[in-house]
Structure 1
């Protein structure tokens, strides 16, 4: 059964079709990568899924429920968590405090919050930086902190928009291991330009181009797809 799906999902801005009649299905327990050239509509599509913007037409379903008109905070309450390309950490708070704010949405009591926070920081590779102000972290570490904030919510669906942007090679390797470790407990939608991350972590890949789905398949199938090569991978 699909945890997340869309039917005829569209969004236009001043007559420009950013997303056009997208039918999309993400089964429970899958890691799905969403790729496409710049301007393909990926971030707009994800914003529609999360409720940051509402569709011009079409529907979004989460676990069988029509959530097309729900605001973002209500979707979070249903079990969706997401990070975006622009970091949204609280720069004056410590890494621990940032994650604790997210954790308190679902757990209470100092001991339980502490357990959840330290577990999320450990998963994100930030267990040695709990007291560091978020604003003092590198850009890459701020991205990892956002992921920790998402993990602290124990989401049913984790949406990550360009999570490896700004990460070092070692941090990217750790991120791949993190995604593999989450596969048994969390459905993941990953918007990513780093093709090694896509090829090594995704079960399936969806390719957007000009706001429409160009292709879907396994990483190997997408890599071999001539249309995708021409539109995105720069060959053919």
Structure 2
């Protein structure tokens, strides 16, 4: 059974159709990449899945339960975690406390310290645990946000352009992290870096003008003529 399932999911903003009739199935343990041109509706789709944007119509199921009307915090408690395209860390707090605040949503109190340290070590920020978050580089703030997602022990981890602002070595570390998480955590990855997509995703979904254009393995997507025309043909790797 799919961990996440949408049927006919749509969002209209007045006369603007942002997402229209999206059917989407995400299997447990899968790494799925969501790609598409600028304005394709990726962030709107993910906003509906995470409970931050109400759909105009359609349904969302998580682990067999319809959650279409659930608020975002209830989805977090059910096992969803969403990291934003723009960093949402607390700059005036230490790295440790940023992750601890996220941990308290899902982790028993007696396990918070160990969970925080483990999450930061996993993203390569263990040595910066007492540093003020606002003093981190932008790339390290993105990694901190991923740690804040991981510490919640999510069943579904949604990452919105996580490699944006990362140095080459940090991108390599991120790819290794996704490979390590694969299978144990279901991941939905909105990503502009096509090399990352092709290396880490089990399957790829392509949005275009708010509709699902294609879904398949990375190799199938790379060879798809419609996808090439809409997104990949000009070598454009922007999401």
Find the residue that maps to 1:10 and give its secondary structure: strand
Considering only aligned residues, what root-mean-square deviation do their CA atoms show, in Å?
1.0
Specify every segment of 5 or more residues in structure 1 that has no aligned partner in the other structure, as ranges: none
Aligned to 1:148: 147
**Runs of 4+ in structure 1 over 3 Å off:** none
- Distance in 1 between the 2:160 and 2:108 partners? 29
8 A Cα contact 2:77 2:106, kept in partner: no
Specify every segment of 5 or more residues in structure 2 that has no aligned partner in the other structure, as ranges: none
Shift of 1:210: 0.3
Aligned to 2:21: 21
Aligned to 1:80: 80
Shift of 1:143: 0.7
Find the residue that maps to 1:131 and give its secondary structure: coil
The aligned runs of 1:99-118 (5 Å cut-off) are: 99-110=99-110, 112-118=111-117
Alpha-carbon deviations, 1:116-175, whole Å to 9, x = none?
001000111111100111111111111110100000000000000000000000000000
Query: What TM-score, normalized to structure 1?
Result: 0.98
The aligned runs of 1:156-167 (5 Å cut-off) are: 156-167=155-166
Aligned to 1:209: 208
Aligned to 1:39: 39
- Distance in 2 between the 1:184 and 1:190 partners? 14
Aligned to 2:62: 62
- Distance in 2 between the 1:193 and 1:3 partners? 24
- Distance in 2 between the 1:137 and 1:47 partners? 27
Find the residue that maps to 1:120 and give its secondary structure: helix
The aligned runs of 1:219-230 (5 Å cut-off) are: 219-230=218-229
Aligned to 1:123: 122
Shift of 1:185: 1.0
- Distance in 2 between the 1:71 and 1:64 partners? 17
Find the residue that maps to 1:29 and give its secondary structure: coil
Find the residue that maps to 2:17 and give its secondary structure: strand
- Distance in 1 between the 2:24 and 2:96 partners? 36
- Distance in 2 between the 1:25 and 1:214 partners? 14
- Distance in 2 between the 1:217 and 1:105 partners? 34
Query: What TM-score, normalized to structure 2?
Result: 0.96
- Distance in 1 between the 2:172 and 2:9 partners? 34
8 A Cα contact 2:116 2:151, kept in partner: yes
Shift of 1:234: 2.8
